Amino acid sequence: MMNLMDMILNAQNGDVVRQVAKNFQLDEGQAKSALGALIPALGRGISNNASSPQGLDGLIGALARGNHSQYIDNPAAATQQAAVEEGNGILGHIFGSKDVSRQVASSAAQQTGVDSGILKQMLPMLASMAMGAMAKNGFGSAAGAANQLSSAQDSGIAGMLTSFLDADKDGSAMDDILGMASRFLR
């Protein structure tokens, strides 16, 4: 199973990096660095949110109702106003408040040197793409969820999300999220 960072960065042969660079007037290196700082924070937020039954139900419901895979299939779609509004809603669910989103952007700005205002604008777009990555990975339909459940009866969907975020398959996504961030901040 591909992890969240790889799935977003490799969507459409790396078009996400080019789209982010173009949309926010960054060079591709800055865009990749920004993505490398923000995507792990989104992954942590999704994982934390999915750790409660209510959060998990909300996540599965949102994946089943939405057409999120379009943001991976066509990264330019994530820059449209409807996607940004949807992304802001997603951020509200996974982070709980705008203050957390601001803190994520501020921390990423310190790591990357990219202006926190740009990173705040980037977050909703990336939230939509993260949902798209999960939808493409089989969480976006009842049939996909059933397949995921049948392949991981012991761990359920929360375990599958951890697996999705756990690149080295050591049972902990946290080291992978931190490792992914460090690769892109060099």
- The 10s digit of each residue's pLDDT in 85-111 is 999 988 988 888 889 999 999 999 999
Average model confidence (pLDDT) for the chain? 76
Tell me the per-residue pLDDT of 138-155, one tens digit each, with 9 for 90 and over.
654 444 444 443 343 334
pLDDT category at 68 given cuts 50, 70, 90 is: confident
Q: Which domain holds residue 143?
A: 4-184
How many residues would you count in the chain? 186
User: Do 100 and 62 form a contact (C-beta atoms < 8 A)?
Assistant: no
Question: What would the mean pLDDT of 37-56 be, rounded to a whole number?
Answer: 84
- Name residues whose C-beta falls within 8 Å of residue 2's C-beta, 6 or more positions apart in sequence: 10, 137, 164
Tell me 74's DSSP state.
Answer: -
Number of domains in the chain: 1
pLDDT at position 112: 94
User: Do 173 and 103 form a contact (C-beta atoms < 8 A)?
Assistant: no
- Name residues whose C-beta falls within 8 Å of residue 137's C-beta, 6 or more positions apart in sequence: 1, 2, 7, 164
Residue at 21: amino acid letter: A
Cα 159 from Cα 77, distance rounded (Å) = 30
